[in-house]
Amino acid sequence: MHVGFDKVFLVPYSANMIKKYKPSNRDLALQVATTLFLSKGYLATSMDDIVTASKVSKTNIYYYFKSKEDLLSAIMDQLIQTYTEMIHDIAERSSLTVQERFKAILRMLTHQELECLGGCPFITLYTQMPLDAPIIREKVGRFFRDQIGIVEQLVLEGIHKQEFKADLSARSTAQFIVAAIEGGLFLQHASEDSTLLEQSFHTLALLLK
Amino acid sequence: MHVGFDKVFLVPYSANMIKKYKPSNRDLALQVATTLFLSKGYLATSMDDIVTASKVSKTNIYYYFKSKEDLLSAIMDQLIQTYTEMIHDIAERSSLTVQERFKAILRMLTHQELECLGGCPFITLYTQMPLDAPIIREKVGRFFRDQIGIVEQLVLEGIHKQEFKADLSARSTAQFIVAAIEGGLFLQHASEDSTLLEQSFHTLALLLK
């Protein structure tokens, strides 16, 4: 049975889980590499570490991924797909107000249980990507431009439904919201204040009205 | 002559500069390590790389810093001191409105010329710090709690001077602003949109009024 990455983020990797779901060797290597890259660091993890922790042979891992950078690229694709789907799902719940959907997105983002060095998997991996890996860096850039686009549509909907002020610039408000979420995930982690993101978005809700 | 880290951030490390300022071997090792840790990565830089780039002998470097982590800790102290001073200097310019001071802080932060993997030196170093380096991680946490405190005082001043809405929560507004700045520095880098931070703060200015 295929183990989706949603499972990986909701339930941190454990030997039991692997027994139960019987993922393929490729999935297993990806799962273990994701856990190690996020909790220990991409640059601090070697292919040998992944071999040891996943118990997948080196030959087998190199059959699927020709380098550590190739593995990082595949992890980034999975992360982007999972997060894009989760955010889309919430954004489309038109029975909720726009504010309620923002809250649901925040809750989803702060309840990912996987340990991350920087509070958010994208920040954690991006800041460790070599400058000479432009293709993977560009994937992250495109992901965030897409997220700003989704939030911009939500802001427009909020203005249209008179939830938000009529004179807001939807574009720059969306940039601001995405920046505050990313920065908030990082700050909440660095300042060890688990209520920071929720409190500051309570203030944003008041400002947008 | 002592080379302050403000110099390092305003003028990226170059052979000429070093000739001119004649920094001590300790300062030279610190400067080179800062450049390498931020542009290539802490985890991707070895002590040997620092020896080669700085031309300070290994014995000499180890005389000042007993490990790479010790060097990271000293760099963090310098960064924190430099940024704290720069932010304090701007915060205290009481001839400016609070909004003008926020703008000046943003300008200062976006005009640091040193190449950083993650758009901000604190995010870049924090996300590469091992989880078992709690003392350095805590320094970063304290720095951000201090910055939130400074911004909170500015927000209170803005409310008092009727620049901002009277019903704002100064604390959570400050958390929100610091989060948006940090996230904006990262997003601006990742999305390759150099106007993102300025545009989104233009929106914030309108929201706070």
- Quickly count: other Cβ atoms within 10 Å of residue A193's Cβ: 16
- When scoring A122, A186, A208 by the number of chain B Cβ atoms within 10 A, the one with the most, hence best to mutate, is A186
- Quickly count: other Cβ atoms within 10 Å of residue A166's Cβ: 7
CA distance to partner chain B, nearest, from residue A118 (Å): 5
**What single DSSP character describes residue A164?**
S
Q: Which candidate, A17, A197, A208, places its Cα nearest to that of A108?
A: A197
pLDDT value at residue B79? 94
pLDDT value at residue A113? 66
- When scoring A175, A193, A206 by the number of chain B Cβ atoms within 10 A, the one with the most, hence best to mutate, is A175
Question: Is B65 within a domain?
Answer: no
- The CATH number linked to A36 is 1.10.10
Q: Residue written as tokens 């040891």?
A: A52
Conformation bin of residue B192: beta by default, left when phi > 0, alpha when psi is -120 to 50: left
CA distance A191 to B145: 6
Question: Is A80 within a domain?
Answer: no
Mean pLDDT of chain A: 86
- Contact call for A141 and B190, based on CB within 8 A: yes
Are both A60 and A90 inside the same structural domain?
Answer: no
Question: Is B164 within a domain?
Answer: yes
Question: Is B49 within a domain?
Answer: no
- Contact call for A148 and B191, based on CB within 8 A: yes
Question: Comparing A78-87, A168-177, A178-187, B116-125, which segment has the lowest mean pLDDT?
Answer: B116-125
Please name the member of A44, A167, A168 whose beta carbon is closest to the beta carbon of B43.
Answer: A44
Q: Which candidate, B98, B82, B66, places its Cα nearest to that of B31?
A: B82
Task: Give the contacts of B156 (CB within 8 A, at least 6 positions apart).
Answer: B170
Q: pLDDT confidence of B98, banded at 50, 70, 90?
A: very high
Question: Is A105 within a domain?
Answer: yes
* b/e burial code for range B99-136 (CB count within 10 A of at least 16 → b): bebbbbbbeebbebebebbbbbbbbbbbbbbbeeeeeb
- Contact call for A181 and B178, based on CB within 8 A: no
- Contact call for B123 and A123, based on CB within 8 A: yes
Q: pLDDT confidence of A117, banded at 50, 70, 90?
A: confident
Rg of chain B, C-alpha, whole Å: 19
Q: pLDDT confidence of A209, banded at 50, 70, 90?
A: confident
The proportion of chain B whose per-residue pLDDT surpasses 70, expressed as a percent, equals 89
User: Chain B residues with CB inside 8 Å of A180's CB?
Assistant: 176, 179-180, 183
Are both A115 and A19 inside the same structural domain?
Answer: no
**What single DSSP character describes residue B176?**
H
Question: Is A107 within a domain?
Answer: yes
Please name the member of B118, B148, B187 whose beta carbon is closest to the beta carbon of A178.
Answer: B187
- Contact present, B166 and B156 (Cβ < 8 Å): no
Are both A90 and A60 inside the same structural domain?
Answer: no
pLDDT digits (tens, 9 = 90+) for A99-112: 999 999 998 988 87
pLDDT digits (tens, 9 = 90+) for A37-82: 998 889 889 999 999 999 999 999 999 999 999 999 999 999 999 9
CA distance to partner chain B, nearest, from residue A46 (Å): 12
Rg of chain A, C-alpha, whole Å: 19
Judged against a pLDDT cut of 60, whether residue A6 lies above it is answered with no
User: What is the number of domains present in chain B?
Assistant: 1
- Contact call for A191 and B128, based on CB within 8 A: no
**What residue numbers bound the domain in which A15 lies?**
5-64
Phi and psi at residue B127, to the nearest 5°: -70, -5
- Contact present, A208 and A164 (Cβ < 8 Å): yes
Judged against a pLDDT cut of 50, whether residue B6 lies above it is answered with no
Question: Is A49 within a domain?
Answer: yes
Judged against a pLDDT cut of 80, whether residue B50 lies above it is answered with yes
Which chain A residue has the Cα nearest residue B191?
Answer: A141
CA distance to partner chain A, nearest, from residue B195 (Å): 10
Judged against a pLDDT cut of 50, whether residue B82 lies above it is answered with yes
Question: Is A168 within a domain?
Answer: yes
pLDDT value at residue B113? 66
- Contact call for A172 and B203, based on CB within 8 A: yes
CA distance to partner chain B, nearest, from residue A175 (Å): 6
Residue B158 burial by Cβ neighbours in a 10 Å radius (0-12, 13-18, 19+)? buried
The proportion of chain A whose per-residue pLDDT surpasses 90, expressed as a percent, equals 60
Q: Residue written as tokens 């393929």?
A: A24
The proportion of chain B whose per-residue pLDDT surpasses 90, expressed as a percent, equals 60
CA distance B61 to B50: 9
Judged against a pLDDT cut of 80, whether residue B19 lies above it is answered with no
pLDDT value at residue B33? 95
Rounded to the nearest 10°, the torsion over CA A39, A45, A47, A51 is: -50
pLDDT digits (tens, 9 = 90+) for B101-151: 999 999 898 887 677 888 889 999 998 887 778 889 899 999 999 999 999
- Contact present, B37 and B118 (Cβ < 8 Å): no
Which chain B residue has the Cα nearest residue A141?
Answer: B191
Summarize the confidence of residues B83-104 as an average pLDDT. 95
Percent helix, strand and coil across chain A, each rounded to 5?
Answer: 70, 0, 30
Mean pLDDT of chain B: 86
- The CATH number linked to B124 is 1.10.357.10
Please name the member of B137, B173, B190 whose beta carbon is closest to the beta carbon of A126.
Answer: B190
pLDDT value at residue B21? 60
CA distance to partner chain A, nearest, from residue B207 (Å): 6
Cα separation of the two ends of chain B:
47
Are both A106 and A58 inside the same structural domain?
Answer: no
Judged against a pLDDT cut of 90, whether residue A144 lies above it is answered with yes
Which chain A residue has the Cα nearest residue B164?
Answer: A207
Phi and psi at residue A48, to the nearest 5°: -60, -40
Summarize the confidence of residues A83-98 as an average pLDDT. 95
Please name the member of B137, B175, B200 whose beta carbon is closest to the beta carbon of A200.
Answer: B175
